[in-house]
Amino acid sequence: MRYTEMNPDFYVRNRAKTAARLAPGAAALFFAHDPVCVNGDALYAFAQDANFFYLTGIDQEENVLFLFPDAPFPEWREVLFVKRTSPEIKTWVGWKYTPDEARAVSGVQNVRHTDELEDFLMTVAGYVGPVYFDFNENDRNRAQDLKPARRWMQWFQQRFPAHEFRRSFPIVAELRQIKEKEEIEQIKQAVARTHAAFLRIAKFVKPGVKEYEVEAEIIHEFIRTGANGHAFNPIVASGANACVLHYDLNDQTLRDGDVLLTDFGCRYGNYNADITRCLPVNGKFSERQKQVYEAVLRIQREAMQLYKPGALLEEINAEVAKITTRELIALGLITPEEAQKNPKAYFKYYPHRVGHHLGLVTHDDGDRYRPLAPGMVLTCEPGIYIEAEGIGVRLENDVVITETGVEDLMADVPIEAADVEAAMRP
Ligand SMILES: [Mn+2]
């Protein structure tokens, strides 16, 4: 692997926590992602299933984890099935985990091959109570779910139609919301590379440069430091493009006098960082740009104070909407009367929420209505978008919830307008 792997002890603990939450006598199946075809025989770059990775540390396709904590035979309690390699795979693709390597990474003692899974399930099914299957239940996902779980659940139901099925996604997603020390270390690795990429683009941005050239600088920094790559399609949005929240065409030219909004993040060891910074294309914010920028910075600082154990994201969002309304009035964008009449008047200039959980997924899985608790990692990203003036400003830092408030993982990345300008000077 390009990245430093975590200790197998982490995955042993995650499986124990998951096993403890299964119904008595139950078994659970977790699947690595399948390869996904682009066209012909070309594949999308592989990215592991988050729950499977969280439970095994195995970063390859077509592997399966079987958990059966109350199994009558100890060797059935945890079984990892890895894809059997072949001389052909060795010639064309190269390395795949051997059972010994998979054992060392995951801490699962009983490692077999996926071509034995059907036979194994037929052997154990008669002793198993409910069977848990894992589907993507992220409430923002609208794309098709290609998980092998669907195929295997159908197979299982065909063969053993009287078994009861249950959902494991909420169990693992809840565990994943509270990050362990090791996970925060990986996120810090992603943050460090994201910081370095910001400093790199700060020196690179100037009038005449294409948005995609900035994108190329970012990926250069990530790949050369052993990261997976981008956490998500990076947003490199100059001028009014910044008012399109998930703009990622990145095909325009940076113009003198515009502000450039960059929202990107590094993915390291499958953990993500997510930053937004705004830069004046010519190296110096205009008076108006600075007014808007400093308004957003004040909102971020006040919003971060609201992140603490017990707080609800919905309450934080309601409070940030009020703070943003105050700043929009000060900027002359809405009047106090308008704000009085319509408490959602801010929405025209700030049409999103202030943050999301962050981890193995950028918009991380789990219950967004759960009170904040120590170990959760979230973004804090207020913004103001004024399409009529061609300015969009968002400022985003990643924070860990502590016993008393937050640790700002991006406290060292320039954010004051003057510090951003200083970072741009050759
Ligand atoms: Mn974000």
Q: How many angstroms is it from 275 CA to the middle of ligand 1? A: 7
How far is Cα 212 from Cα 418, in angstroms, rounded to an integer?
A: 25
| Placement of tokens 């100059």 in the chain | 238
Instruction: Identify the sign of the CA torsion 92, 98, 101, 106.
Output: positive
**What's the topology of domain 8-176?**
Creatine Amidinohydrolase; Chain A, domain 1 (3.40.350)
Q: How many angstroms is it from 280 CA to the middle of ligand 1? A: 21
The catalytic residue among 134, 217, 274, 365 is 274
The catalytic residue among 139, 246, 314, 419 is 246
Which helix or strand (DSSP H or E) is residue 81 part of?
strand 78-82
**Is 88 an active-site residue?**
no
**Is 385 an active-site residue?**
yes
| Adjacent-strand bridge partners of 66 | 29, 79
Q: Which of 401, 386, 299 is nearest to 334 (CA)?
A: 386
Residue 119 burial (10 A CB sphere; 0-12, 13-18, 19+): exposed
The catalytic residue among 15, 230, 356, 357 is 356
Q: How many angstroms is it from 43 CA to the middle of ligand 1? A: 27
Q: How many angstroms is it from 352 CA to the middle of ligand 1? A: 11
**Is 367 an active-site residue?**
no
Number of neighbours of residue 411 by Cβ within 10 angstroms: 10
The catalytic residue among 363, 389, 408, 421 is 363
Q: Which of 254, 49, 231 is nearest to 133 (CA)?
A: 49
How far is Cα 120 from Cα 46, in angstroms, rounded to an integer?
A: 27
Number of neighbours of residue 327 by Cβ within 10 angstroms: 22
**Is 34 an active-site residue?**
no
In the chain, what are the domain boundaries? 8-176, 178-424
Q: What is the CATH number of domain 178-424?
A: 3.90.230.10
Q: How many angstroms is it from 324 CA to the middle of ligand 1? A: 18
Q: How many angstroms is it from 140 CA to the middle of ligand 1? A: 13
Helix locations, 125-180, DSSP H = 148-159, 169-177
How far is Cα 392 from Cα 380, in angstroms, rounded to an integer?
A: 16
Q: How many angstroms is it from 119 CA to the middle of ligand 1? A: 44
CB 396, CB 274: distance < 8 Å: yes
In this prediction, residue 93 carries a pLDDT of: 87
How far is Cα 311 from Cα 413, in angstroms, rounded to an integer?
A: 26
In this prediction, residue 232 carries a pLDDT of: 97
**Is 394 an active-site residue?**
yes
**Is 288 an active-site residue?**
no
Q: Which of 262, 197, 185 is nearest to 225 (CA)?
A: 197
Q: How many angstroms is it from 356 CA to the middle of ligand 1? A: 7
Helix locations, 107-210, DSSP H = 117-124, 148-159, 169-177, 181-204
In this prediction, residue 297 carries a pLDDT of: 98
**Is 195 an active-site residue?**
no
How far is Cα 346 from Cα 382, in angstroms, rounded to an integer?
A: 12
**Is 251 an active-site residue?**
no
**Is 314 an active-site residue?**
no
Strand 377-380 relative to strand 165-167: parallel, antiparallel, unpaired? unpaired
Q: How many angstroms is it from 396 CA to the middle of ligand 1? A: 7
**Is 381 an active-site residue?**
yes
How far is Cα 416 from Cα 426, in angstroms, rounded to an integer?
A: 18
pTM of the model: 0.96
Q: Which of 422, 413, 391 is nearest to 277 (CA)?
A: 413
pLDDT in tens, the chain (426 residues): 899 999 999 999 999 999 999 999 999 999 999 999 999 999 999 999 999 999 999 999 999 999 999 999 999 999 999 999 999 999 998 999 999 999 999 999 999 999 999 999 999 999 999 999 999 999 999 988 778 999 999 999 999 999 999 999 999 999 999 999 999 999 999 999 999 999 999 999 999 999 999 999 999 999 999 999 999 999 999 999 999 999 999 999 999 999 999 999 999 999 999 999 999 999 999 999 999 999 999 999 999 999 999 999 999 999 999 999 999 999 999 999 999 999 999 999 999 999 999 999 999 999 999 999 999 999 999 999 999 999 999 999 999 999 999 999 999 999 999 999 999 999
**Is 70 an active-site residue?**
no
